Homo-oligomer: A and B are copies of this chain.
């Protein structure tokens, strides 16, 4: 048989549903004999209280909503790994929705989560999102919200992200300290802010070390692919033959640079140093291995869930809720493509 209900038990015993319900909850106005027979039958039939009904009473669904642009990308699949792992440990289920990087789909997904009465929402904004009315709606309804990765200053809530500017600053400083002076940067598109922050870190490191910033040394990758890394390296070395280092937005772009150098007899790192970003597992599978910046991506997901659950607890206990921004630290990993 399917799921056993209170009604099933009541019918079998020939008593009312209310009596069954009271018996299971140990109410004193049900006599011991009835109570025992209800409990025995409930056990035999493997009766389980309907959790939807329980949730309705508790007003907690123990379910969190997560909206991300996509998952077929190493960054998001790693974040999701951290999110689900941490939520599972804390007794929460996770409903994952995609915005497909579309602002209007993101709006629909927020509405859906509101209807489903999730206890809290975790969100990495779609790249194109500029209208933020739907996110403000969450705040207005007092649904705990934490933004991660792609965030905005315009929303007052807790945020978790990588300190991209500092990470990038340290990477470029490492290149300078190991003797590079003519450093080209392959940046990502704008928005999101993170890509601009990495560019700003690059610029700041040059300035700190008295190297003149030359805008023509910066190339914009639209899709951050291996091929863009390959082609821009060709272009950069033609336009700037004095180049002695390449700092790429992501490891995949950096691997494209490395492939171009290898195919054209350019020695890495003797002639050109190459630095990636993110410490993707493939960065260890090249020869030489790729130097890069380690981002604690899984930890980012865990931290975001932690902060969200804390906020849910605070609201439940009517404690004042404090928002804060966590910036997770990064680390330069020097391998074989830098001096």
Are A263 and B285 CB-contacts (below 8 A) given A77-B71, A84-B98?
Answer: no
Question: Given the complex, which residues of B lie within 8 Å of A85, measured CB to CB?
Answer: 98
Chain B residues near A74 (CB, 8 Å)? 77
The CA of A72 and the CA of B280, in the complex, are separated in Å by 11
**Is A15 part of the binding interface, using a Cβ–Cβ cutoff of 8 Å?**
no
Contacting chain B: which of A44-52, A127-135, A145-153, A197-205? A44-52
- Of chain B, the residue at the smallest CB distance from A66 is B96
Residue A255 CB within 8 A of the other chain: yes
Q: Which of A111-119, A163-171, A236-244, A322-330 contacts B (4 or more CB under 8 A)?
A: A111-119
Whether, in the assembled complex, A208 has its beta carbon less than 8 Å from a beta carbon of chain B, the answer is no
Chain B residues lying within 8 Å of A188, measured Cβ to Cβ, are: none
Chain B residues with Cβ below 8 Å from A116 are: 51, 93
Q: A56 touching B51 by the CB < 8 A rule?
A: no
Q: Is the interface of A mostly helix, strand, loop or mixed?
A: helix
Which residue of the partner chain B has the closest CB to A226?
B285
Asked whether, in the complex, the Cβ of A94 is within 8 Å of the Cβ of B93, the reply is no
Kindly report how many copies of this chain are found in the complex they form together: 2
| A305 at interface, CB cutoff 8 A | no
Give the contacts of A283-311 with B (CB-CB under 8 A). 284-287, 298
The answer for the CA separation of A298 and B70 in the assembled complex, in Å, is: 13
Q: At the interface, yes or no: A160 with Cβ under 8 Å from chain B?
A: no
Residue of B51, B77, B98, B256 near A285 (CB, 8 A) is: B256
User: With an 8 A cutoff between CB atoms, is A217 at the interface?
Assistant: no
A50 vs B115: C-alpha distance in the bound complex, in angstroms? 7
Decide if A216 is an interface residue (CB 8 Å cutoff). no
Residue A259 at the chain B interface, CB threshold 8 Å:
yes
Distance to closest chain B CB from A331 (angstroms): 20
Q: Complex formed: what's the CA distance from A298 to B98 in Å?
A: 15
A262 to B: closest C-beta gap in Å? 8
| A52 CA to B58 CA, complexed, in Å | 12
CB distance from A294 to the nearest CB of B (A): 15
Residues of A within 8 A of B (CB): 2-3, 48, 50-53, 55-56, 61, 63, 70-74, 76-78, 80-81, 84-85, 88, 93-98, 112, 114-117, 141-142, 226-227, 252, 255-256, 259, 262-263, 282, 284-287, 298
6 closest residue pairs by CB, A with B = A77-B77, A226-B285, A72-B81, A52-B56, A93-B95, A51-B115
> Could you list 23 A-B pairs, sorted by A, with CB under 8 Å?
A51-B116, A51-B117, A52-B52, A52-B55, A52-B61, A56-B56, A70-B81, A71-B84, A72-B298, A74-B77, A76-B77, A84-B96, A84-B97, A85-B98, A88-B97, A88-B98, A93-B116, A95-B95, A96-B96, A226-B282, A226-B284, A255-B285, A256-B285
